[in-house]
Amino acid sequence: MFSGVASSWGQRGWSRLTVSRSARDYSPLLSLALFAPLLLLLSFSFLYPVGRLLAGSLFAPELNVDRYIRLFLEPVYLRVLWRTFEIAFVVMLASFVLGYPVALAMAKLKGTWAAIVAACVLIPLWTSVLVRSYAWIVLLQRNGLVNTVLQEAGLTTAPLRLIYTEGAVIMAMTHVLLPYMILPIYAAVRTIPDDLERAAKNLGAGGWTVFLRITLPLSLPGVFAGALMTFILSLGFYITPALVGGPRTLMMGTLIGQQATVLLDWPFAGALSVVLLAATLLLLSVFRKALSFNKGVSGV
């Protein structure tokens, strides 16, 4: 009898360990204990550095807001901030124009071709940003591949100035960030039932009508997610603008790096970082508010 009771208790205890439980079953103390490692990691990797930047920009060595006044009074810093947002917006648009057809092909193709397209998207994502930026230097430099082909084809008589331009920065950043646009759109398109497109075609809708009335609207959550990621990541880019753009296309990330490592003006670098972070959070909140009006992404 005792062995039967022990066996029953053992099975019951094992079932309690193996059966998943809802988060509501845990006590607040246990939930906090489970959440504590992530909270500590977030505090030391994000909250503490941001707090130090804010404190250093305001209290180094005492309360001083002259750095922020200098940032808004000197036109050069406002031009760099505007250029940063302008390039980020253009990169976001270019990534959408180039990435949407690729995401659509990934979702519609089958077999070998689908694997080939997916490999073309993922392999560059696994390559270092530094390597890809140097690849663009090799392509666009004065004696690079592009200028060599243009001259040998007779299209130009002298090398064109392709490197260290805003266009070069946009191309290189779009190349780096393109997977971040493709993958969310691909995930959204994959969730669209094929029955909707077949039903629309049976009712007489053409290919463009099906795309504009069904595919594009239902893929908007992926478009919004990809646009948000590419835009936010573009604002903080440092390596690619520094290598491909040079001093003529200075962006906020490069400017902050110069202030911190070259001029050793850490308080002003902190002020630039805080302004960029505040502008990014403001745009993020506006973006989320705009998305809340869309029925399909009200929960984003």
Look at phi and psi of residue 27 and say left if phi exceeds 0, alpha if psi is from -120 to 50, else beta.
beta
Counting beta carbons within 10 angstroms of the beta carbon of residue 269, is it exposed (0 to 12), middle (13 to 18) or buried (19 or more)?
A: buried
287, pLDDT greater than 80:
no
How high is the pLDDT of residue 299? 41
Closest-CA residue to 125 (of 193, 164, 175): 175
Which residues have CB under 8 Å from 200's CB, separation 6+? 209, 210, 213, 214
Q: Write the pLDDT tens digit of every residue in 88-144.
A: 999 999 999 999 999 998 888 888 888 888 888 888 888 888 888 888 888 888 888
How high is the pLDDT of residue 22? 53
268, pLDDT greater than 50:
yes
Q: Write the pLDDT tens digit of every residue in 152-207.
A: 888 888 888 888 888 889 999 999 999 999 999 999 998 888 888 888 888 788 87
Q: How confident is the model at residue 247 (pLDDT cuts 50, 70, 90)?
A: confident
Q: Write the pLDDT tens digit of every residue in 39-88.
A: 888 888 888 887 887 887 887 677 778 888 888 888 888 898 899 999 99
Share of the chain above pLDDT 70, in %: 87
Q: How confident is the model at residue 297 (pLDDT cuts 50, 70, 90)?
A: very low
Closest-CA residue to 201 (of 187, 213, 189): 213
How high is the pLDDT of residue 171? 92
Instruction: Give the Cα separation of 58 and 193 in Å (integer).
Output: 54
CA dihedral 131, 250, 287, 54 (to 10 degrees): 100
Instruction: Give the Cα separation of 49 and 26 in Å (integer).
Output: 32
223 within 8 A of 100, measured Cβ to Cβ: yes
Instruction: Give the Cα separation of 57 and 266 in Å (integer).
Output: 8
- The reply to whether CATH 3.40.640.10 applies to domain 52-297 is no
Instruction: Give the Cα separation of 92 and 129 in Å (integer).
Output: 17
Which residues have CB under 8 Å from 88's CB, separation 6+? 230, 231, 234, 235
**pTM, whole model, 2 decimals?**
0.79
**What single-letter DSSP state applies at residue 110?**
-
Question: If you average pLDDT over every residue of the chain, what do you get?
Answer: 81
